[in-house]
Structure 1
Amino acid sequence: MNRIEFKNFAIEVILEVLKIANAQIDEYSNIGDISATEIIQKDVIDKYEKIYLGIIGLDFSELEDEKFYFIETTIEEILKNNNLSSNFIKSQQEKRENLKGNSGAEVVKNLFDYELSKLLNAQQILIDKINIILDQETILENELKDTIQEEAQFDIIYKLQPVREEYRVLEAQLLKLDSTIKTLRKKINFKWNYEIYGTISKDELLKVYKNSFKMGE
């Protein structure tokens, strides 16, 4: 195979490893084995994610022979270490090509985009609420500065407490939401999180999810 063909082959190899690791994480998460999920994330997902991003960003036609040979050797080792055959990877490539536009990858990508849209909307609602609370706090603080009588000051301080408490609650919610948005954006930008489903059809993916929901009932 030429260099462009090999690049596509290498990408499929890495996607297969990531797909297996991702399924293992789901499996261990379902039984609450946090330690196992952390190990797989660190030793497999993080490692192969970097390799995947490195490969898709390379122009293989411009690679020096020495570097190309290194990548070729690395891919061969990955195949061997993960008990994957070249014929199997080629069959996955063929499936991916035949399912373009009708694969699970498109479904998952659309779900990610939809979820991101919902999260961004929720984020804006929270920001609006926080701004209202901050305005209330500013008004009360200004009143406190302008108030001389001690009794009136205590009254304002009493009003400030629930306002500040609400701000702390909303701020915590926003930080959590920001983290979720960041994680989802990373999945969309890094691509592999949905591309791993490019070798199964939309219908197959739907069946898997239906069966998963039934098992969880």
Structure 2
Amino acid sequence: MNKKDFKDYNTEVMLQILKKSEVELQKAEAENDSEKIKFINEEVIPKYEKLYLALAELDIRDKSEEEIKTFRETVDKIAESNGLTEEFIKKCISVREELKGKSGAEVTKRMFEYAVKDLKKKKIILLERMDVLLKEEAQLEADLKECIQYDAEMEISGKIVDVREKKRDLKEILDANDKEIEKIQNHINTKWRYEIFGTVSRDELKKAAEGE
């Protein structure tokens, strides 16, 4: 097995395990199985994501034949424990190569990139709203300091409370938006979230998304 085949085989095993994990996660979410959801999110996916990233970056140029053999045997054991045969993995590699540039992976990656772009646009709008509220709050606080009538003071104080409540609500939206950006950007950076669709054509992915 040459260096490229070695790398392709290793990463494909991890991608297929991660793809299987995603399917199981979706099923657990549909069944509202919180225990299984937690297990997959905290135990399964992090483990195989780490292996995928490590194997994708593994440089075997300075590795001995014995070391390479050990790596391969380890990956074979992982594949076997997850019900994946060598024949199946090689078929996935072949399909991935055939679909390169027209697979679901490219579509999914672009979808992630568009989502991040839209969320960043939304963040700009939210920050502009926050700036308006901050200026309004500052003006009300200044007015309160100058106020000498009790009724007017109570009115301004009430407005300040309202503005601060709006700020809190907006801050929650901003935090959620930032969290979503971080999550999707991580999907892009770690690659596997879209690469798992590299063995599916764009049309197949579209039909699956439409529930056909």
Equivalence for 1:130: 130
Is 1:28–1:34's contact at 8 Å kept on the other side of the alignment?
Answer: yes
CA distance in 1, matches of 2:67, 2:139: 64
Superposition CA RMSD, Å: 1.7
Equivalence for 2:16: 16
Equivalence for 2:175: 175
Is 1:13–1:79's contact at 8 Å kept on the other side of the alignment?
Answer: yes
Alignment of 1:26-41 (within 5 A): 26-41=26-41
Equivalence for 2:60: 60
Give the drift of 1:60.
2.1
Equivalence for 1:2: 2
Deviates most, 101-110 or 149-158: 149-158
CA distance in 2, matches of 1:168, 1:63: 56
* Residues 64 and 160 of structure 1, relative CA distance in 2, 3 Å threshold: farther
Q: Any gaps of 5 or more consecutive residues in structure 1?
A: none
Is 1:4–1:60's contact at 8 Å kept on the other side of the alignment?
Answer: no
Give the drift of 1:139.
1.2
Report whether the alignment pairs 1:47 with 2:47: yes
CA distance in 1, matches of 2:202, 2:61: 34
Question: Secondary structure at the residue paired with 1:60?
Answer: coil
Give the drift of 1:64.
5.5
Equivalence for 1:72: 72
Equivalence for 1:197: 197
Q: Any gaps of 5 or more consecutive residues in structure 2?
A: none
CA distance in 2, matches of 1:201, 1:149: 71
* Residues 67 and 152 of structure 1, relative CA distance in 2, 3 Å threshold: farther
Is 1:4–1:61's contact at 8 Å kept on the other side of the alignment?
Answer: no
CA distance in 2, matches of 1:22, 1:12: 15
Deviations along 1:171-199, one digit per CA (max 9) or x if unpaired, are 11111111111111110111000000000
Q: Which amino acid aligns with 1:162?
A: D
Give the drift of 1:161.
1.2
TM-score by length of 1: 0.91
CA distance in 2, matches of 1:57, 1:204: 30
CA distance in 2, matches of 1:93, 1:134: 55
Number of residue pairs the alignment of both structures matches = 212
* Residues 152 and 82 of structure 1, relative CA distance in 2, 3 Å threshold: same
Deviations along 1:23-63, one digit per CA (max 9) or x if unpaired, are 11111112222221111122211100011111122222234
Question: Secondary structure at the residue paired with 1:61?
Answer: coil
Deviates most, 149-158 or 76-85: 149-158
* Residues 64 and 157 of structure 1, relative CA distance in 2, 3 Å threshold: farther
Equivalence for 2:144: 144
Is 1:112–1:188's contact at 8 Å kept on the other side of the alignment?
Answer: yes
Q: Which amino acid aligns with 1:178?
A: D
Deviations along 1:120-170, one digit per CA (max 9) or x if unpaired, are 111111111011101111111122233344443323212211111111110
CA distance in 1, matches of 2:98, 2:55: 23
CA distance in 1, matches of 2:167, 2:64: 57
Equivalence for 1:118: 118
Percent of aligned pairs sharing the same letter: 37
